Structure 1
Amino acid sequence: MLKNILNKSRQVWTPLARGLSKTNTQSNVAAESAAATNITKPALILPQDYADYAPLNRNAPRQAWIENIDAVAERKMGLIELHPDVFAAQPRVDVIQENIEWQRKYRYVSLAHAKTRAEVRGGGRKPWPQKGMGRARHGSIRSPLFKGGGVIHGPRSPTTHFYMLPFYKRVMGLTSTLSVKLAQDDLHVIENVDIPTRDAQFIKDLIAERNWGPSVLIVDKEYMFPENICYATDDLGYVNLMPAFGLNVYSMLKHDTLVLTVDAVKHLEQRLLYQQHRTDATSKGGKFKLDQV
């Protein structure tokens, strides 16, 4: 009797056990294939590394979509976290204005020039004798007292209006402008600057499809841009290319839309955070020197 019961139990449980082992095998294969798929796919979110520079700004880190540029149709490639000290700073409009005035004036050279009495043509002879005529004594009709004479304390060219803005205001101007651009939804992040064609119509359709505004500034970490995007934007006066080390407040505000590559974002964060946390910042606030960088 006992043997029969054991035989029946084996007959009942053996097929079920086989089915469970088959199911487990299939699940293991599916898990392995999913793991392999996850390894090949790029990360959806590029996290921020706070190991070197912890955020002084306690606001939540900002995030931006990473967009494609290989086609006109917009496609979200993932998310990138932005450092709050660079892209979520307090928008100091006064500092931005000071940066604009500084950039407009340091490249301006006045060519206004007034001639002195020595530079005006003529007037070499004494107009009348020193004494005997009852008239005031004069040595030249090109004196500033005469009509057609020289000018005293007039403008002399070339006159430069160069001055150096304090160090901390230059750094604050960049962080404030980047934060304003992100807050106004005028900052976009792309994978890279590799476009499939050198036709300018591709860039026109891309800007129109994504509503990037009348003028666009594309910034990459490297100063050598790919051939296709250089040819495509060569005849478009409202689309400009700029390396990350040349990014400035005036250019960002001059263009309606700022487009940064992922490498440019990381490079700007690294450089600006270093400038904010550098130990010799007080010495940079002194009188400007040519070796100050």
Structure 2
Amino acid sequence: MKLSVQTLDAQTAGDVELNDAVFGVAPRADILHRVVTWQLEKRRNPASATRERSEVARTGKKFGRQKGGGTARHGDRRAPIFIGGGKAHGQRARTFGHDLNKKIRALGLRMALSAKAQSGSIVVLDNLDVKDGKTRELAASLAKLNLTKALFIDGDAVNISFAKASSNLVGVDVLPAVGANVYDILRADSLVLTRAAIEKLEARFNG
């Protein structure tokens, strides 16, 4: 697949050929769903456990007499009805992440890239250099390119001037090539890749 390369000023800067092994895979909803579910569950923090009656550090001595005290019968002070006692039916420690085969993860990323390519949602830029790192200039450039909710992927590292200029723009996310992931790609309306990003992504799967 061949796409035209543009600059941030909406000028043509040549063409680039996309590798069909990375950008020409037929997407499958089940694979994409598995990868997105795995990503979101990996983001969840583990649930912390509460201490129940047998786990609180209080005396186990019986509180008062069984009968004749004029109050309800009690065992020790660890009971949940007492201040400082254990939690009744408290939540247990739990982790939500699960393992997913590396081949499935790699396939999901290639399918996500291919889905954007097949829908015509991929824009290729020569680079992400923003003069003086000005947000106003970047906003004007993105308006020319008709990019609102977009994910920008750069090469080894994110362009510093672009990261600075885009930090206050709503709907603009930027990642290095190593951070490309299925969830962020699918949720963006447009996927913007630099030449360096394409080289890194293709090398990642063909290496």
* 2:133 counterpart SS class: coil
Partners of 1:106 and 1:160 within 8 A in 2: no
- How big is the shift at 1:222? 2.2
The corresponding residue for 2:70 is none
Question: Aligned residue pairs: how many?
Answer: 203
The corresponding residue for 1:66 is 5
Q: Which runs of 5+ in 2 are unaligned?
A: 68-72
- How big is the shift at 1:189? 0.6
Mark the CA change 1:122 to 1:247 in structure 2 (over 3 Å): closer, same or farther. Answer: same
The corresponding residue for 2:24 is 88
Q: Deviations over 1:241-284 (max 9, x none)?
A: 2110111111212322211111210211111123xxxxxxxxxx
Partners of 2:158 and 2:174 within 8 A in 1: no
TM-score normalised by the chain length of structure 2 = 0.82
Greater Cα shift, 261-270 or 148-157: 148-157
The corresponding residue for 2:152 is 218
Mark the CA change 1:123 to 1:106 in structure 2 (over 3 Å): closer, same or farther. Answer: same
Which of 171, 174, 179 does residue 109 from structure 2 map onto? Answer: 174
* 1:259 counterpart SS class: strand
The corresponding residue for 2:200 is 267
Mark the CA change 1:234 to 1:151 in structure 2 (over 3 Å): closer, same or farther. Answer: closer
The corresponding residue for 2:92 is 156
Q: Which amino acid aligns with 1:223?
A: A
Q: Which amino acid aligns with 1:220?
A: D
Distance 2:130 2:158 in 1: 15
The structure with more radius of gyration: 1
Partners of 2:158 and 2:175 within 8 A in 1: no
* Correspondences of 1:33-48 after superposition (within 5 Å): none
- How big is the shift at 1:63? 1.4
* 1:160 counterpart SS class: coil
Q: Which runs of 5+ in 1 are unaligned?
A: 1-61, 132-136, 275-293
- How big is the shift at 1:223? 1.1
- Answer 1 or 2: higher relative contact order, Cα 8 Å, separation at least 6: 2
* 2:131 counterpart SS class: coil
Q: Which amino acid aligns with 1:272?
A: F
Distance 1:171 1:107 in 2: 18
- How big is the shift at 1:181? 0.8
Q: Which amino acid aligns with 2:185?
A: M
Partners of 2:55 and 2:86 within 8 A in 1: yes
1:190 lines up with 2:129 in the alignment: no
Alignment root-mean-square deviation, CA? 3.0
Distance 2:33 2:194 in 1: 26
Partners of 2:156 and 2:200 within 8 A in 1: no
Q: Which amino acid aligns with 1:68?
A: T
Partners of 2:156 and 2:176 within 8 A in 1: yes
